[in-house]
């Protein structure tokens, strides 16, 4: 006889309670396994194989799931600004965008939408202007670093995944970090992506390197670049160091972080964005590696100082450049360029595309691998700054729930990025994407190594001005490596202290 049996008299109600609790937990668990409340994926197992294995394992009913957050018959109005597909974007992006608005209309037939698609370069300025005139939209989707400026200035309402029925565990920790300002969440990630190392296997083979193995470390990359240049007379690595260009930090910061450096302490497990790391030994080593390639070995394009990645595409497709760092979409871009080539150029371009390989970013000397955590976030604007002075919170939540759902976070980022909601990786559409898009598994597997830029309003100045300045000072030998990092450190510190000169 058990204790339970011995206390059968008083035990019955307890047993009932246990039973009820068990049923409730079971029911909740079963609900959570297939709904928006689930812990979507196991990040500890993240690898190209794992990404493939979970794709297509779960189905979602987005309208129903969001209906649990905001009733589907809710009547209201929502205004929304974002960067939608434009002429240069592939047809699939246009189709998915149109499909979303159809689906939203079906899920929420009584919510009126006022939507503006604004180009990437115009959105921030237009949004800033609209805020000054209290004419902003209720919802805005901004690039990953865009939101912090507006959160700091008090234009955004606090917003976290739980507000629209999801769990914070359903999003990348790095992505959530990018929408957190002074401990408060001000948005939900819509999509996230990282870059990868791309190389031309034929050039590797011609230079006597293993065509299927990319450089494992950044030090190896310096050696590979020199080997290619010395043997074939072409540029090895597509260094990018243009001033005032976002391309530069996206390619140099991974190198800096891998060596143990940083602008501030953004690469630390719990960054406070107060410590300046730009002049530490890791940062110096990374800058020295860039100088070695540009000044000592001359194994990178001379034009690196005025190049963005766009200028590297021509030489790469022409077989004149061996390695670049770029997005998953670069393969599609190269295919596009090859399709437009003619005659002998076409033959060469097709050969380059056939020899294109994607690999993980090189590591630092201690095995640290890092990449910039990119993407976008969706935000809710405060009523005071919205046209009409009122935010329809329910309508806003309905839109955000749909937009950030596992289904639409895959579909709306089909060609250019990855789902912000981790549940998106479990969907059948992710499986379809993996089958369609070559090398997608490589770039998605880099996501756990993603580090967001410092989440402070001054980050654009640090990343787009000070980091390229530091590179240019060293690459042109205007300053030594030590002088360049100290100069950068002084400028970063001045910004943190609230001054900064000009």
Partner 1 sequence: MSTGQAIFRDVPDPPAPKRPSLGSRLVKSRTDYLYVAPAILVMLVVIAYPIYYTIELSFFNTPASLALSEKQFNGLDNYVTILTSSIFWKVTWQTIIWTVVSTLFAFLLGLGAALALHREFAGRALLRGLLLIPWVVSAVAASYVWKWLYHSDFGAIGALMVQLGVTDQPINFLDNTTTSLYSLIVVNVWKEFSFAMIMLMAGLQTVPDTLLRAAQVDGASPWQRFWHVTWPHLSSVSTVTVLLLVVQNFNSFIIPFIMTGGGPVGSTQIWITHIYELAFLRQRWGVGAAYAVLLFIIMMTLGYFYVRALTRGDDQRAGA
Binding site for partner 1 (CB under 8 A): 125, 131-132, 149, 152-155, 235, 242-245, 301-306, 311, 314-315, 320, 456-458, 460-461, 464-465, 468-469, 472-473, 475-476, 478, 498, 500-502
- Minimum Å distance from CB 279 to partner 1? 18
Pair 228, 322: CB distance under 8 Å: yes
Phi, psi of 145 (to 5 degrees): -90, -10
Please say which residue, 150 or 414, places its beta carbon nearer to partner 1.
150
Phi, psi of 376 (to 5 degrees): -140, 160
Please say which residue, 42 or 182, places its beta carbon nearer to partner 1.
182
- Minimum Å distance from CB 472 to partner 1? 5
- Minimum Å distance from CB 259 to partner 1? 23
- Minimum Å distance from CB 30 to partner 1? 46
Please say which residue, 285 or 456, places its beta carbon nearer to partner 1.
456
- Minimum Å distance from CB 304 to partner 1? 7
DSSP H/E element including 379? strand 374-380
Q: What secondary structure letter does DSSP report for 425?
A: G
Which candidate, 121, 143, 82, 157, places its Cα nearest to that of 420? Answer: 143
Please say which residue, 117 or 476, places its beta carbon nearer to partner 1.
476
Query: Which residues, listed in sequence order, are joined to residue 188 by a DSSP beta bridge?
Result: 378
- Minimum Å distance from CB 149 to partner 1? 6
- Minimum Å distance from CB 412 to partner 1? 29
Please say which residue, 104 or 150, places its beta carbon nearer to partner 1.
150
DSSP H/E element including 200? strand 196-200
Joined together, the tokens standing for residue 200 give 């031309």
Q: Alpha-carbon dihedral of residues 255, 324, 96, 166, nearest 10 degrees?
A: -10
Please say which residue, 111 or 240, places its beta carbon nearer to partner 1.
240
Cα dist from 105 to 109, 139, 163, whole Å: 5, 17, 21
- Minimum Å distance from CB 359 to partner 1? 24
Q: How many whole angstroms separate alpha carbon 414 and alpha carbon 100?
A: 12
492: exposed, middle or buried (Cβ count in 10 Å: 0-12, 13-18, 19+): buried
Which candidate, 338, 304, 324, 308, places its Cα nearest to that of 214? Answer: 324
Please say which residue, 154 or 389, places its beta carbon nearer to partner 1.
154
Sheet hosting strand 235-237, strand order edge to edge: 235-237, 321-326, 196-200, 356-359
| Strands in 101-153 per DSSP E | 111-117, 139-143
The count of other CB atoms within 10 Å of the CB of residue 36 is 27
Please say which residue, 151 or 412, places its beta carbon nearer to partner 1.
151
- Minimum Å distance from CB 153 to partner 1? 4
The count of other CB atoms within 10 Å of the CB of residue 338 is 20
Which candidate, 163, 413, 198, 449, places its Cα nearest to that of 317? Answer: 198
The span from the first CA to the last CA of the chain, in angstroms, equals 83
Please say which residue, 14 or 302, places its beta carbon nearer to partner 1.
302
- Minimum Å distance from CB 298 to partner 1? 10
Please say which residue, 200 or 427, places its beta carbon nearer to partner 1.
200
Joined together, the tokens standing for residue 104 give 């939203």
- Minimum Å distance from CB 411 to partner 1? 34
17 Cβ contact partners less than 8 Å away, ≥ 6 residues apart: none
The count of other CB atoms within 10 Å of the CB of residue 406 is 29
Please say which residue, 67 or 271, places its beta carbon nearer to partner 1.
271
């Amino acid at each position: 006889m058990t204790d339970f049996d011995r206390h059968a008299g008083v035990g019955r109600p307890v047993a009932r309670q246990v039973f009820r609790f068990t049923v409730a937990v079971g029911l909740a668990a079963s609900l959570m396994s297939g709904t928006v409340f689930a812990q979507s994926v196991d990040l500890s197992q993240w690898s190209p194989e794992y990404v493939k294995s979970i794709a297509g394992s779960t189905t979602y009913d987005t309208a129903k799931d969001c209906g649990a957050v905001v009733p589907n018959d809710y009547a209201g109005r929502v205004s929304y600004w974002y960067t939608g597909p434009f002429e240069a974007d592939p047809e699939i992006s246009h189709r998915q965008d149109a499909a979303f608005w159809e689906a939203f209309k079906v899920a929420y037939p009584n919510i009126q939408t006022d939507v503006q698609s604004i180009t990437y370069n115009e959105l921030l300025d237009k949004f800033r202007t609209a805020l000054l005139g209290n004419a902003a939209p209720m919802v805005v989707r901004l690039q990953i670093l865009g939101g912090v400026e507006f959160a700091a200035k008090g234009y955004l309402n606090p917003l976290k995944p739980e507000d629209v029925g999801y769990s914070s565990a359903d999003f990348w920790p790095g992505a959530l970090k990018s929408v957190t300002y002074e401990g408060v969440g001000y948005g939900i990630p819509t999509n996230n992506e990282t870059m990868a190392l791309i190389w031309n296997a034929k050039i590797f083979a011609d230079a006597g390197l293993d065509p299927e193995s990319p450089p494992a470390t950044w030090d190896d990359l310096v050696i590979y670049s020199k080997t290619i240049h010395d043997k074939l007379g072409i540029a090895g690595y597509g260094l990018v160091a243009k001033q005032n260009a976002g391309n530069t930090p996206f390619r140099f910061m991974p190198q800096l972080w891998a060596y143990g450096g940083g602008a501030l302490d953004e690469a630390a497990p719990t960054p406070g964005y107060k410590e300046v790391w730009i002049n530490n030994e890791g940062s110096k080593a990374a800058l020295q590696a860039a100088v070695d390639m540009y000044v000592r070995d001359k194994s990178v394009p001379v034009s690196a100082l005025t190049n963005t990645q766009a200028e590297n595409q021509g030489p790469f497709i022409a077989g004149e450049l061996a390695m670049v760092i770029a997005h998953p979409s670069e393969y599609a871009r190269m295919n596009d360029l090859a399709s437009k080539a003619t005659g002998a150029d076409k033959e060469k371009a097709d050969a380059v595309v056939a020899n294109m390989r994607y690999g993980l970013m090189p590591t630092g000397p201690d095995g640290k691998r890092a990449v910039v955590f990119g993407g976008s976030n969706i935000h809710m604007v405060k009523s005071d700054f919205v046209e009409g002075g009122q935010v329809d919170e329910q309508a806003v939540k309905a839109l955000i729930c749909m937009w950030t759902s596992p289904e639409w976070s895959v579909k709306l980022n089909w060609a250019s990025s990855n789902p912000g909601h981790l549940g998106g990786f479990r969907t059948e559409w992710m499986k379809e994407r993996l089958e369609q898009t070559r090398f997608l598994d490589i770039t998605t597997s880099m996501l756990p190594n993603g580090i967001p830029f410092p989440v402070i309003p001054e980050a654009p100045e640090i990343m787009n001005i000070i980091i390229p300045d530091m590179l240019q000072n060293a690459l042109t030998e205007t300053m030594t490596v030590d002088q360049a990092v100290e100069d950068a450190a002084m400028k970063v510190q001045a910004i943190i202290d609230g001054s900064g000169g000009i």
